[in-house]
Amino acid sequence: MTPKEELMQAIQTSPDDIISALLETLKKLRGQSESAAESAAESAVESAVESAAENPLTERLYRKNGILVAETGPLSDFDTTAFIRQMREERIQSQIDKLGL
């Protein structure tokens, strides 16, 4: 039996007050792990921006309103619609994987 199955079985036989306490604990843990992941991502971006600022070749890389911006020349061969479509598909697949479907 997997841990998930064991937990589901324990939930089915537990009183409601224990289930409520368990649910609150899970919500707190999930929030902590999400905020830790966000902090790590922000640190990585800040580190990249700092190292880019030290490199004169990357003077066109900066942060604006919390978003990392890279100034480029014209992107004539870049299909924005195809790029957005691909990103959506990847996001949908990621959500499906998270749900276990």
CA distance 19 to 8: 11
Q: Where are the domains of the chain?
A: 3-73
- The pLDDT, as a whole number, for residue 48 is 62
Express each pLDDT in 52-94 by its tens digit. Answer: 555 554 567 777 888 877 777 777 787 888 888 998 998 888 8
CA distance 98 to 8: 18
Q: CA nearest 62: which of 74, 52, 72?
A: 52
In the chain the beta strands, taken as DSSP E runs, fall at 61-64, 67-70
* pTM for this predicted structure: 0.33
